[in-house]
C-alpha cells in the first residue's frame, strides 16, 4: 500500500528570522505537521537549529545571500541564485506523492519551485503574499508594457494552471488572478492572516510611556514597514494640514524606504505635531500600539489585490480604530467597512485623511467604540482558525494527489 506523501514547505523567511512573513510561515509549517510529515526548505540561517530546539518540522537550509535593500542589482542576482538553488533542492527531496507549498517571496521563487514539483509529479500550492508583476510595477521597478512584465505574465499563465491550489490572504486578489486565462475559480482559496498579539481591548492610559507629553491629545499612529505600496508623503502632508490643531499629535515609528522619505521630509520641514521614533522592538510593540487613539495605513493608488497589510491584524488585537487610505475594494478597506471599526479614505489624498482624523478627534466616545469593535473583530483572525483552514486546503490537495496516483 502506498504511503501518503509529505508536505514540502518552501520559504526564504523562517524562524528565527523576525519578519512577519517568517512568523506566519513558521506557524503554518508547524501546524501542518499534524496532518503529514512536513519538510521545510528555508533561506534563513540557523532555521534548522531553531526548529529542532522548538520541536518544529525538519528543516533543510538553502544558502541565501541577502545584499542591502538599496543594492537592487545585487538583490536581483541574489533572488535568482536562491531560486536556482531551491529548484535543485526541491527536485531532490520531492516525490510524486508529495505536496509542495511555496510563498511568493522572492517573486522568482515560485517559478523554480513549482517547476521542480511538477517535474517530480507532485501537487503544488502557492501562497500569494504579493502579486507580481503588479507589485514590481507599483514599485517603479518595471514598466507596464515592458518585455520583463510581459514575460512574467506569460510565465504566470503556465504556473497558475499547473497549481492545484492558490491561497490568497486578501479577497481583492481573486479578480486579478481571474484575468489570467485558464485560472480556475475553484482553485483559489482565501485564508486571511491572523493577529500576532493577544486579543484584548487596551484602555488608553495616560501613563503609557509612548504617549508622553501628548497624553491628553488624540494621537495618530503609524507603525511598521513603509514599502513601495505605501505613501509616506500623504501622512506628512496630512500632519502639515493639521499642524495648527491643538488636540492632535502624530506618533510615527517604522522602517523601510518610505520611512527614509518621511524622515527627509520632516528634516526639511520640521512639524511640531509630529514625533518620529526609531523602530520599536517586539518586546514593546504591544504598549506602542496601545499608545495611539487611532492608526493610519496609508496606501498608494491601485494597491487592491497587490498587497495586504499584516499590521492590520495587530491593530485589531489591541482594540484601536483604523483609518485606511486605499481603494474601497482592498482587503483592509473591506474589513474596516464591514466591521465599522474606522474610516476608509481615497489613497494619496491628504485632505480626506485629515478630515477622517478630525472626525476621530471630534467624537471621542464614537472613536473609542470603534476601537472596542476592533478587538471583537480580531476574534475572527486567530492563529487557530487560520491554521485549521490551511490544514483543510493543503490536506485536500495532498490527498487528491495521492489518490490520483493510487
pLDDT (tens place) for every residue of the chain, 406 residues total: 356 899 999 999 999 998 889 999 999 999 999 999 999 999 999 998 888 887 889 999 999 887 776 666 787 888 899 999 999 999 999 999 999 999 998 889 999 999 999 999 999 999 999 888 887 887 777 788 888 888 988 999 999 999 999 999 999 999 999 999 889 999 999 999 999 999 999 999 888 999 888 888 999 999 988 877 888 899 999 999 999 999 999 999 988 888 888 888 888 989 999 999 888 888 899 999 999 999 999 998 888 887 766 889 999 999 999 999 999 999 999 999 999 999 999 999 999 999 999 999 999 999 999 999 999 999 999 999 999 999 999 999 998 764 544 3
Q: What's the CA gap between 367 and 350, in Å, rounded?
A: 20
Instruction: Find the radius of gyration of the CA atoms of the chain.
Output: 22
Specify whether the CB–CB gap between 37 and 45 falls below 8 A: no
Torsion over CA: 384, 385, 390, 392 (sign): positive
Dist CA 160 CA 156 (whole Å): 6
* CATH class of the region 7-194+382-405: alpha beta
Rounded to whole angstroms, the Cα distance separating 315 from 319 reads 6
Residue of 173, 222, 178, 200 whose CA lies nearest to 332: 173
Strand 38-42 and strand 58-61: pairing? parallel
Three-state DSSP at 119 gives helix
**Cell reading at 331:** 482587503
The SS3 of residue 124 is: strand
pLDDT digits (tens, 9 = 90+) for 50-84: 888 878 899 999 998 877 766 667 878 888 999 99
Contacts of 246 (CB under 8 A, 6+ apart): 217
Domains 7-194+382-405 and 212-380 agree in fold: yes
Topology of domain 212-380 in CATH is Rossmann fold (3.40.50)
Q: Give me the chain's average pLDDT, please.
A: 90
Cβ of 366: how many Cβ atoms within 10 Å? 12
pLDDT for res 1: 39
Contact 232, 262 (CB under 8 A): yes
Cβ count within 10 A of residue 225: 18
Give the residue from 56, 157, 40 showing the smallest Cα distance to 100. 40
What are 251-266's pLDDT values in tens digits?
Answer: 999 888 888 888 888 8
Phi, psi of 294 (to 5 degrees): -150, 145
- End-to-end C-alpha distance for the chain, whole angstroms: 9
pTM: 0.91
Secondary structure (3-state) at 251: strand
Distance between CA atoms of residues 80 and 330, nearest Å: 30
Cα–Cα distance for residue pair 256/158, rounded to 1 Å? 33
Strands across the sheet containing 123-128: 58-61, 38-42, 7-11, 99-103, 123-128, 165-168, 188-190
Domain coordinates in residue numbering, the chain: 7-194+382-405, 212-380
pLDDT for the residue 406: 38
If DSSP codes are grouped into helix, strand and coil, which group holds residue 56? coil
Which residues have C-beta within 8 Å of that of residue 267, sequence separation ≥ 6?
none
Give the pLDDT confidence of 110-152 residue by residue, as tens digits: 999 999 999 999 999 999 998 888 878 877 777 888 888 889 8
CA separation for the pair 339, 377 (Å, rounded) = 7
Give the alpha-carbon dihedral of 298, 299, 304, 308, to 10 degrees: -70
Amino acid at each position: 500500500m502506498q504511503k501518503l506523501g509529505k508536505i514540502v514547505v518552501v520559504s526564504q523567511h523562517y524562524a528565527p528570522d523576525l519578519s512577519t512573513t517568517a512568523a506566519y510561515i513558521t506557524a503554518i509549517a508547524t501546524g501542518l505537521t499534524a496532518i503529514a510529515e512536513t519538510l521545510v526548505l528555508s533561506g534563513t540561517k540557523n532555521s534548522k537549529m531553531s526548529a529542532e530546539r522548538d520541536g518544529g518540522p525538519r528543516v533543510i537550509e538553502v544558502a541565501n545571500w541577502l545584499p542591502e535593500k538599496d543594492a537592487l542589482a545585487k538583490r536581483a542576482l541574489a533572488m535568482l541564485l536562491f531560486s536556482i538553488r531551491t529548484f535543485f533542492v526541491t527536485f531532490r527531496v520531492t516525490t510524486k506523492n508529495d505536496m509542495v507549498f511555496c510563498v511568493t517571496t522572492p517573486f522568482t521563487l515560485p517559478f523554480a519551485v513549482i517547476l521542480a514539483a511538477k517535474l517530480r509529479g507532485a501537487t503544488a500550492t502557492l501562497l500569494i503574499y504579493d502579486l507580481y508583476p503588479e507589485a514590481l510595477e507599483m514599485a517603479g521597478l518595471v514598466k507596464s508594457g515592458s518585455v520583463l512584465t510581459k514575460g512574467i505574465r506569460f510565465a504566470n499563465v503556465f504556473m497558475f494552471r499547473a497549481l492545484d491550489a492558490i491561497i490568497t490572504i486578501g479577497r481583492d486578489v481573486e479578480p486579478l488572478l481571474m484575468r489570467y486565462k485558464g485560472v480556475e475559480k475553484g482553485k483559489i482559496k482565501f485564508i486571511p492572516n491572523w493577529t500576532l498579539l493577544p486579543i484584548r481591548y487596551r484602555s488608553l492610559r495616560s501613563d503609557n510611556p509612548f504617549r508622553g507629553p501628548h497624553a491628553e491629545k488624540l494621537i495618530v499612529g503609524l507603525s511598521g514597514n513603509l514599502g513601495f505600496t505605501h505613501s509616506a508623503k500623504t501622512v506628512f502632508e496630512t500632519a502639515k494640514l493639521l499642524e495648527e490643531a491643538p488636540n492632535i499629535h502624530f506618533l510615527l515609528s517604522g522602517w523601510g524606504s518610505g520611512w527614509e522619505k518621511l524622515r527627509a521630509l520632516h528634516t526639511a520641514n520640521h512639524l511640531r505635531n509630529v514625533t518620529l521614533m526609531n523602530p520599536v522592538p517586539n518586546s514593546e510593540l504591544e504598549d506602542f500600539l496601545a499608545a495611539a487613539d487611532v492608526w493610519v495605513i496609508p496606501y498608494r493608488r491601485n494597491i487592491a489585490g497587490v498587497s495586504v497589510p499584516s499590521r492590520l491584524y495587530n491593530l485589531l488585537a489591541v482594540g484601536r480604530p483604523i483609518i485606511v487610505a486605499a481603494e474601497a475594494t482592498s482587503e483592509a478597506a473591506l474589513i474596516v467597512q464591514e466591521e465599522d471599526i474606522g474610516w476608509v479614505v481615497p489613497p494619496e489624498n491628504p485632505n480626506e485623511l485629515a478630515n477622517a482624523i478630525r472626525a476621530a478627534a471630534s467624537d471621542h466616545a464614537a472613536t473609542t467604540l470603534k476601537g472596542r469593535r476592533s478587538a471583537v473583530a480580531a476574534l475572527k483572525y486567530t492563529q487557530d482558525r487560520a491554521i485549521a483552514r490551511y490544514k483543510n486546503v493543503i490536506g485536500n490537495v495532498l490527498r487528491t494527489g495521492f489518490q490520483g496516483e493510487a
